[in-house]
Copies of this chain bind each other. A is one copy, B any other.
């Protein structure tokens, strides 16, 4: 099994890939989100792992756009707590550290650590895991990095201090994509989730009508988000996650009902609740 993800080896997305596909998955790092989707389309990989939302930063709209364009089905989801660790080459001690390399977003999520260590300089880098790689390949005296524990493992570095992030409530949700949806049995005991996208013209009550197709059939929703459609004032895309398999009799009726008045209704995939 080969799975594409975005980032350097040791990125949080790689940790998500291993959580979704087991420790033995062969991971293929890509530069951009779009490259992941293309790699799956071109059969260079068997699966792809993409971040879709973060508790601090919201939905990754770009990946919703790619989901609509490439139409690779979502087959699983998982969630990962983003833990930032202070990492350095073996032998270096916490008291030796005078500079810390990482992505600016990660550096800014560890302000408590830097406030407690005002002598430590912050150095921006492209990538959290890439900063660990850099320190292992270049002689940077007094330097450490901020990254995931699997970045430390992968590059043979050491964790000097675990979990130095300010906010523990930093989770990212990931989707696993394949080229084809599995032949699933919607009737089995698993709790299924389905992600859909649709557009509505903003006539009063359009969203109320859209919600009614689920409420009238007792189908629960776990996510709803509107996004203005650029260049089409007053029209919106909606991302909705519902608790049912798209092929269950109830959901089929609800989605058929929704298609009567929603535009561009797409089922992005049905997958076990993660």
- A220 and B202 in contact (CB under 8 A), knowing A57-B61, A230-B55? yes
| A118 / chain B contacts, CB cutoff of 8 Å | none
Main secondary structure of the interface of A (DSSP, over half): mixed
Give A50 Cβ to nearest chain B Cβ, in Å: 14
Within A12-65, the residues touching B (CB, 8 Å) are: 32, 53, 55-62
Q: How far is the CA of A221 from the CA of B224 in the complex (A)?
A: 13
Chain B CB within 8 A of A136 CB: no
Which of B125, B127, B218, B224 is within 8 Å of A225, CB to CB? B224
**Complex partner residue of A207 from B62, B103, B224, CB under 8 angstroms:** B224
Instruction: Give A111-137 interface residues, CB cut-off 8 Å to B.
Output: 111, 122, 124-127
The size of the chain A interface, using a CB distance under 8 A, is 45
Once the chains are docked, how many angstroms separate the CA of A126 from the CA of B230?
30
Q: Is A104 an interface residue when CB atoms closer than 8 A count as contact?
A: yes
Instruction: Please tell me which stretch of A92-100, A154-162, A208-216, A258-266 contacts chain B, meaning at least 4 of its Cβ atoms lie within 8 angstroms of it.
Output: A208-216
Residues of B contacting A108 in the complex (Cβ-Cβ under 8 angstroms):
32
Chain B residues whose CB sits within 8 angstroms of the CB of A227 once the complex forms: 55
The complex places the Cα of A226 from the Cα of B226 at a distance, in Å, of: 9
A204 within 8 Å of B by Cβ?
A: yes
Cα A58 to Cα B205 with chains together (Å) = 24
Chain B residue with Cβ nearest A213: B208
Min CB distance, A109 to chain B, in Å? 10
Contacts of A219 in B (CB 8 A): 204
Nearest residue, chain B, Cβ from A171: B230
- Name the distance in Å between A243's Cβ and chain B's nearest Cβ: 9
Contacts of A56 in B (CB 8 A): 61-62
* Cross-chain contact of A126 among B104, B205, B215 (Cβ < 8 A): B104
Does B211 contact A208, Cβ atoms closer than 8 Å? yes
9 residue pairs from A and B, CB less than 8 Å apart: A56-B61, A56-B62, A58-B58, A58-B225, A104-B127, A205-B218, A208-B208, A208-B214, A225-B226
Apart from A103-B124, A202-B222, list 6 A-B contacts with CB within 8 A.
A55-B228, A58-B225, A104-B124, A104-B127, A124-B125, A221-B226
